[in-house]
Structure formats: C-alpha cells, structure tokens
C-alpha cells in the first residue's frame, strides 16, 4: 500500500523521533511510505482557539497534499491531529472554503488514520515484532479516546511487545491538562490537572509514559522533567518501532 505520512507540525519540528519511528515501523510492515513534502499543519491549533478563518489556508494545503489519488492511506501518529482532520476540516471548508474544497477534504479524510487504527484496523496486525525491555505505562489521550474512539487498540499493540512490563495508569482516562492553548490561557488550572497526572504516573513506577500524541507527551514530559522524576516519555510509535536490533547497540539509536 502506498502510505503517506502526515508528520504534523509539532512532530516534524520538535519530535522527529516519533515520526521517524512511524516511518520505519510502517516500512518494516511492508508499506510503501511516502512523505508529501508540501505538508505543514492540520490547523488544529487555529480551529481549537477560534481562528477558523486562519485555519482555512492550512486546511486547503493539507487537503491538496493528501487528497491525491495515488495515495492509498494517510497515517498520522497523533490522535488529536487525526481528530481535527476527521471532525473539523469539513466545518472550516464549508464555512469559508471555495467550492470543491469540501469534496477534497472529505476524500482526504476518508483515508486518514491514526497510527494504532491503521495498524489494527487496516493492516490487521497486533504484534508488530517489537521488543522493548522496560516498564511502561500508557496514557490514552482524550482525543484518541473520545474523538477517535481508538479504544484498547494501542494497548493491544503494546501487550504484544516482547519483554515489555506494561503497568496500568491509575485514572488513565483523565485529561492531562494540555488542551493546546488551554495550557497557556488557563495555566493555573492546566497545572492543577497536570500535577494529578504526574502523581498517577509516579505511582506506576514506570520508566516510560507512552501515548499516541506528542503534544500530550510534551505536556506530561515537561512536567516529569521539571520535577526531575527520571521518568521518560516515548511516543507509542517509538516503542513499536524498537526491535532487538535497534536496542542492542545503544539507546536512542533511532535518532
């Protein structure tokens, strides 16, 4: 299958390891991975902050990039960006778009999948051949959980990882307090939510907290780092892309 990778603006710029891991994982699973160079951002930050007008050029650019018929599927290693593409692009296109944009948006949306969805629903794999000898806890992220309804797909993928010690996160379905610009506009409330999440992560004694969204991990990881907990964060893709070969020489060999 010809699979286009949508790196997301945040992943491309700040968390390339997660996107590299996605590209390597999909390649290893036999997919023909392509990266449409014209891609930038899905516009989620703009829409969620109220700037639908400003999101329009981003939605246009995204749709033009991925509606292409030569692409069989678009994979996004981010629950919130996949959610935005699925639920918000059409709203923006209908409200402000030129005629025809809506159709383009609908076409791109129909083949867009969040990573765990793509692996389990489209490729039909649960065991991706990963090995990760660490204690890990999984945070489901609100948009994966409630906007995309990925359910336990990420957990099924993680359970199939060799040598992993997967521990349940208490109050897992509680929001970490990120919420995009919410973390800036309501910094005090966001921090109060984050501190409860950090306490719960701490209670698991995990070495890594994982999730399907770099943005939530940036928030949780930023808190873990500030408190100098020594607990790390890793995107789900990074764990799934780790094989015995990649572990052996040294940590971070993916970079």
Partner 1 sequence: MSGTFLGMPTAPPRGTGNIRGSEPFPAAARTELGNAQLRRNVGKATRTIRDKRIAVTGELPDWEELRSAGAAIKRDVLSRLPDLLEQFEQAVTARGGTVHWARDAAEANAIVTRLVRGTGSDEVLKVKSMATQEIGLNEHLADEGITAIETDLAELIVQLGADRPSHILVPAIHRNRAEIREIFLRAMPGVDPDLDDDPAHLADASRRFLRDRFMRARVAISGANFGVADTGTLSVVESEGNGRMCLTMPETLITVMGLEKLIPSYADLEVFLQLLPRSSTGERMNPYTSMWTGVTPGDGPGEFHLVLLDNGRTATLADEVGREALHCIRCSACLNVCPVYERTGGHAYGSTYPGPIGAVLTPQLAGMDTGSGDPNGSLPYASSLCGACFDACPVKIDIPSLLVELRHQHVEQAGFDAEQALMKAASAAMASAGRWTAAQRAAQLGRLLGRGGRIRALPPPGSAWTSARDLPVPPKRTFRQWWDSAEGRAAIERARREGGAR
For residues 14-33, which are near partner 1 according to CB under 8 A? 14-17, 19-20, 23-25, 27-30, 33
Q: CA–CA separation, 155 vs 160, rounded Å? A: 9
Q: Establish if 48 lies at the interface with partner 1 (CB under 8 A).
A: yes
Q: CA–CA separation, 134 vs 173, rounded Å? A: 22
Rg over alpha carbons for the chain, rounded to the nearest Å, is 18
Q: Establish if 185 lies at the interface with partner 1 (CB under 8 A).
A: yes
Among the residue ranges 6-14, 109-117, 150-158, 205-213, the one whose residues contact partner 1 (CB under 8 A): 6-14
Report the residue count for the chain: 255
Of 43 and 154, nearer to partner 1 (C-beta) is 43
Q: Of 39, 45, 96, 47, whose CA–CA distance to 68 is shortest? A: 39
Q: Establish if 203 lies at the interface with partner 1 (CB under 8 A).
A: no
Q: Establish if 45 lies at the interface with partner 1 (CB under 8 A).
A: yes
Give, as ranges, the residues between 106 and 135 that touch partner 1 (CB under 8 A).
Answer: 129
The minimum distance between CB 194 and partner 1, in angstroms, equals 7
Question: Using CB under 8 A, which of 125, 226, 229, 251 touches partner 1?
Answer: 226
Of 190 and 204, nearer to partner 1 (C-beta) is 190
Among the residue ranges 13-21, 106-114, 156-164, 201-209, the one whose residues contact partner 1 (CB under 8 A): 13-21
């Amino acid at each position: 299958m010809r699979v286009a990778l949508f790196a997301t603006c945040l992943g491309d710029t700040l968390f390339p390891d997660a996107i590299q891991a996605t590209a390597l994982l999909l390649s290893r699973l036999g997919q023909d991975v392509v990266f449409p160079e014209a891609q930038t951002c899905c516009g989620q930050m703009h829409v969620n902050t109220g700037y639908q007008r400003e999101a329009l050029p981003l939605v246009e650019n995204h749709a033009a990039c991925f509606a292409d018929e030569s692409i069989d599927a678009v994979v996004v290693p981010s629950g919130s960006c996949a959610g935005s593409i699925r639920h918000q692009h059409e709203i923006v296109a209908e409200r402000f778009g030129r005629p025809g944009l809506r159709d383009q948006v609908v076409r791109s949306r129909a083949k867009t999948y969040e990573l765990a969805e793509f692996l389990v629903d489209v490729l039909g794999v649960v065991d991706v051949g990963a090995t990760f000898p660490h204690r890990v806890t999984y945070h489901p992220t609100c948009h994966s959980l409630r906007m995309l309804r990925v359910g336990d797909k990420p957990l099924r993928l993680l359970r199939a990882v060799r040598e992993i010690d997967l521990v349940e996160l208490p109050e897992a379905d509680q929001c970490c307090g990120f919420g995009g610009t919410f973390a800036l506009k309501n910094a005090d409330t966001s921090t109060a939510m984050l501190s409860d999440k950090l306490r719960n992560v701490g209670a698991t004694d995990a070495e890594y907290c994982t999730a399907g969204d770099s943005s939530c991990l940036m928030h949780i990881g930023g808190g873990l780092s500030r408190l100098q907990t020594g607990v790390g964060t890793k995107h789900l893709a990074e764990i799934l892309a780790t094989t015995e070969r990649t572990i052996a020489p040294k940590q971070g060999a993916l970079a």
